[in-house]
A and B are shown apart, each in its own frame.
Chain A
Amino acid sequence: MFRRLLRNPLSAFGLVVIALLVLLAVLAPVLAPYPEDAVGATVRPERQFEPPSGEFWFGTDDLGRDLFSRVLFGARISLVAGCMTIGLALLIGVPLGLAAGYAGGLVDEIIMRVTDIMLSFPPLLLAVALAAAFGPSLTNAVLATGLAWWPWYTRIIRSAAAGIRSREYVEAARAAGAGHATIMGRHILPNALPPVLVQASMDFGSVVLTTAALGFLGLGAQAPQPEWGLMVAIGRNYFLTHPWVVVFPGLGILITVMAFNFLGDGLREVLDPRLGRARR
């Protein structure tokens, strides 16, 4: 499967960019020329709004801080926040879906109706409403987005679990006296998990985009955190005269989200048997 992903030019490109982004994020403290600017420890009023140059590759912002360093550190925030959001959504969605698919009956009906209700909100709307209720902070933005995201995983894992429940090896385990928890954890979960993980990796781009949107609305990261959405929001007041203050953080979001979406598109192409049939 991995080889087929690499053969698809779009997903191969996505994978390479993701690898680069992870590398940049990990090495940010080493690579950034002014790491202290990223944490907001410095201001240089006299160097405000300098255009991109050899000294400041992406120019400086309203407080004279090096944008390149801040954008670099922004990659860390976006990637970590994305992982935590998806992790939270999986942590809620997977057990619920497993329970619904395995138990069936009333439990299934209740869990799935709640899931349907959650899915009757556009995800961004729910994330905005929850984040507004929790109060503005990066942690709360992650929490809100995760809480808006789990129903998709519940749906997928439920149908996988329901399909596996009546397989012979599960029957055999039950006959051998295995308890419900053992059957769910040992026999059903490992087989139901792959489609969910694939979906999760496809969702990563959307999650990064949502976190940035919350940051832009003032519901996510707070100054002086170098979060890309927040940087664009602050730059909004100055960008017509100093475009670089929004161009570079925005490019950070665009490139990250696009790389994950390229990968996701390739995954879909490789895994969807219905699309495979059409291959001429």
Chain B
Amino acid sequence: MRAFIIRRLFLSAVAVLGVAVITFVVARLVPADPAARWVGPHATAEQIARARVELGLDQPLWRQLITHMAALAVGDWGRSIITHQPVIRDIAAHLPTSLVLVAAGTLLAVALGIPLGVVSAAARNRWPDHLSRALAIGLVSIPTFWLAMILQLWLGQGAGLLPIAGQVDTVLSLLSPVPRVTGALVVDSLLAGRFDVFRSALAHLVMPALTVAAYPLGLITRMVRSSMMEVLSEDYVRTARAYGVAERRILYRHALRNAMGPTLTVIALSLGYALTGTFLVEAVFAWPGLGRYAANAVIGGDFPAIVGVTVVVALAYVLLNLVVDLAQAALDPRVRYD
């Protein structure tokens, strides 16, 4: 077990280094002239030359790379060209709002995806299976940004059930704002005992969360189905059946528990995907999180912000994968010897 942990930690460290190198490539090597971009379109040649020295672009590449890594490590991620704030502060301000969305979406996906996958596997090649497979494939095929708009049209404008965009009712947020504690409005409003804001925030959360849930839901359903089918062909399941154990109990007690390993990996993966998916969803819903920040940065060519968001999301992804792998190794001894 210890050898496994050490190897896994080492791999994660390599991945983190890789993230630093790749973001360096994105920020420094690929754009035609970072110095010219930094000083803006109306700069003189002199200003560009000065900026080149200031940004360290006259240094040899390896030294630039080391400077880049050191700056990332100490949290000096530069200033956003759009907001003029330190990127790391911008990210800290926007991240909690996105995490609420990602958490709500993933929760929905897990709560619906696991039973759907189990039903699909239990009814293999009969109509509930075909139906849930078609649904799962449909869900991973929908462009999320388009789904967001269709939901706005259907549930928001058509049925009038839910607010079309925003994080909370504008009147509420302007007239009686809730003090910021965690940065996540659903949590902060509860902490302040403001149930009117909480209800409004929850209603605003439904459509974005459904949109974010779509892709992970499809992934999880497919993964639960295929790993359940594998487990259901095992001898111990046949033995349990022969002993007359109820099918329900076999499915949920015995098979599902053993099918959870690969499912956990997919859940971690889809958390990472959902975090990237917010780039496409938040702009549509005017959801003031990291995704909208990233989308704006992309449109405005705000490289410090793009690099910052890339680093944060990639690090979260590396960390999630590490946690899941370690959890799996702790729960299932077979994993350690792979």
Contacts and interface: CB of A to CB of B under 8 A. Distances in A.
Interface string B25-45: 111001110000000000000
Contacts of A10: 130, 133-134, 137
A153 interface: no
Contact of A122 (B137, B276, B299, B303): B276
Interface residues of B, number: 62
Given A120-B314, A277-B233, A278-B124, A126 B157 contact: no
Given A124-B276, A129-B23, A129-B306, A232 B146 contact: yes
Interface stretch (B11-19, B53-61, B74-82, B107-115): B11-19
Interface string B130-166: 1001100110111111100110110001000000100
A56 B234 CA distance: 57
Given A213-B143, A254-B143, A275-B226, A125 B150 contact: no
Given A122-B275, A122-B313, A265-B133, A236 B26 contact: no
A126 B298 CA distance: 13
A262 B11 CA distance: 35
Given A250-B143, A278-B230, A120 B137 contact: no
Given A130-B30, A133-B27, A213-B143, A261 B137 contact: yes
Contacts of B313: 122, 125
A167 interface: no
Most A-side CB within 10 Å, residue of B15, B146, B280, B318 = B146
A205 B144 CA distance: 14
Contacts, number: 153
A280 B124 contact: yes
Interface string A1-23: 00000000110000000000000
Interface in B217-248: 222, 226, 229-230, 232-233
Contact of A121 (B22, B133, B284): B22
A236 B145 CA distance: 10
27 contacts: A10-B133, A117-B14, A117-B22, A125-B314, A128-B276, A128-B306, A132-B26, A132-B298, A132-B301, A132-B303, A132-B306, A212-B143, A216-B145, A216-B280, A217-B279, A219-B298, A229-B143, A233-B145, A236-B149, A236-B284, A239-B149, A239-B153, A240-B152, A240-B153, A253-B146, A257-B142, A257-B143
